[in-house]
């Protein structure tokens, strides 16, 4: 545990909530990393700009995406997969910044997954109206690795279901600085984000950014 490094934060700002079956919500955990994350994200986006990818069914995603790390998640008419090369540039994805690695390692250790080392970070950008319909994340090689997600900017409702598409969903508001860790059985649970409501975040304006850290390869 390296919590003692962060003792200066008030207990109100942080908490650890169990969402169930290996999933944890660490409210406010990313706040101390905020300025480093946003600075490093700007550098990632300069090398690999956000883009609206096409699903295998031919729909353009409302969420804009980019990646950093050894591999990036992509979708096109041929399917969903991880690739070491950014198809828009023909070059490898930008390296994962140290601040990204630090927040992911801190959160996964706090949630009880001390051995997780992410090799990919999918960055999702939501503008008002953007949504992610209910889905499972199944393109990663080893489902024993958790997924860590960091929310920045406007708040969103996160829908967290179960192992079947028709299972009832619980709703959790995810706010600026919140971090969630999804391991164990919850790793394969259905989840989604309904249309982002308009708003004006002091730092990110009418935008929500979600960093999702994965063991892809
Ligand atoms: C639960 N992103 O990128 S983050 C995704 O807010 C994705 O952008 C949403 O779903 C977002 O695939 C939710 C949290 C998240 C990510 C992966 C999960 C939750 C998860 C995998 C399994 C269970
Ligand atoms: Fe997902």
* Predicted confidence (pLDDT) per residue in 84-125, tens digit: 999 999 999 999 999 999 999 999 999 999 999 999 999 999
**Does residue 8 surpass a pLDDT of 90?**
no
Strand partners, 85: 92
Kindly report the protein residue whose alpha carbon is nearest to atom 10 of ligand 1: 192
**Does residue 58 surpass a pLDDT of 70?**
yes
Alpha-carbon distance of 167 to 192, in angstroms, equals: 13
Q: Taking Cα atoms as reference points, which of 3, 121, 143, 11 lies closest to residue 67?
A: 121
Cβ(125) – ligand 1 distance below 6 Å: no
What mean pLDDT do residues 25-39 have? 97
pLDDT one-digit tens code per residue, 157-173: 999 999 999 999 999 99
pLDDT one-digit tens code per residue, 11-20: 446 788 999 8
Q: Give, for ligand 1, the residue of 179, 208, 212, 214 to mutate: max count of ligand atoms closer than 8 Å to Cβ.
A: 212
**Does residue 7 surpass a pLDDT of 50?**
no
- Write the CA distances from 81 to 47, 49, 77, 99, 117, integer angstroms: 21, 19, 11, 25, 19
- Averaged confidence pLDDT in the chain: 94
Alpha-carbon distance of 207 to 152, in angstroms, equals: 8
Please give the structure tokens belonging to residue 152. 């920045």
Confidence at 9, pLDDT banded by 50, 70, 90: very low
What mean pLDDT do residues 141-150 have? 97
**Does residue 180 surpass a pLDDT of 80?**
yes
pLDDT for 2:
45
pLDDT for 1:
47
Fold of 2-33+98-214: Jelly Rolls (2.60.120)
Cα 137 to ligand 2 centroid, rounded to whole Å:
5
Q: Are strands 170-174 and 179-182 parallel, antiparallel or unpaired?
A: unpaired
pLDDT for 11:
45
pTM of the model: 0.94
Element (H, E) at 180: strand 179-182
Lowest mean pLDDT among 10-19, 58-67, 185-194: 10-19
Residue ranges per structural domain of the chain: 2-33+98-214
Cα 149 to ligand 1 centroid, rounded to whole Å:
7
Counting from 1 in the atom list of ligand 1, the atom nearest the Cα of 190 is 23
């Amino acid at each position: 545990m390296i919590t003692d490094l962060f003792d200066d934060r008030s207990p109100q700002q942080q908490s650890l909530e169990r969402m169930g079956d290996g999933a944890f919500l660490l409210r406010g955990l990313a706040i101390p990393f905020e300025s480093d994350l946003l600075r490093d994200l700007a550098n990632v986006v300069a090398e690999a700009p956000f883009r609206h990818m096409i699903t295998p069914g031919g729909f353009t995603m409302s969420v804009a995406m980019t990646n950093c790390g050894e591999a990036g998640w992509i979708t096109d008419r041929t399917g969903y997969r991880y690739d070491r090369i950014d198809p828009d540039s023909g070059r490898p994805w930008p390296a994962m910044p140290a601040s990204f690695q630090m927040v992911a390692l801190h959160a996964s250790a706090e949630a009880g997954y001390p051995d997780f080392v992410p090799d990919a970070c999918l960055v999702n950008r939501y503008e008002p109206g953007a949504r992610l319909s209910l889905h499972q994340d199944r393109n990663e090689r080893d489902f024993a690795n958790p997924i860590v997600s960091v929310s920045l900017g406007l708040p969103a409702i996160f829908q967290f279901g179960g192992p079947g598409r028709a299972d009832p969903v619980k709703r959790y508001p995810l706010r600026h600085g919140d971090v969630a860790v999804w391991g164990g059985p919850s790793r394969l649970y259905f989840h989604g984000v309904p249309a982002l409501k308009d708003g004006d975040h002091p730092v990110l304006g009418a935008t929500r950014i979600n960093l999702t850290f994965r063991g892809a390869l």
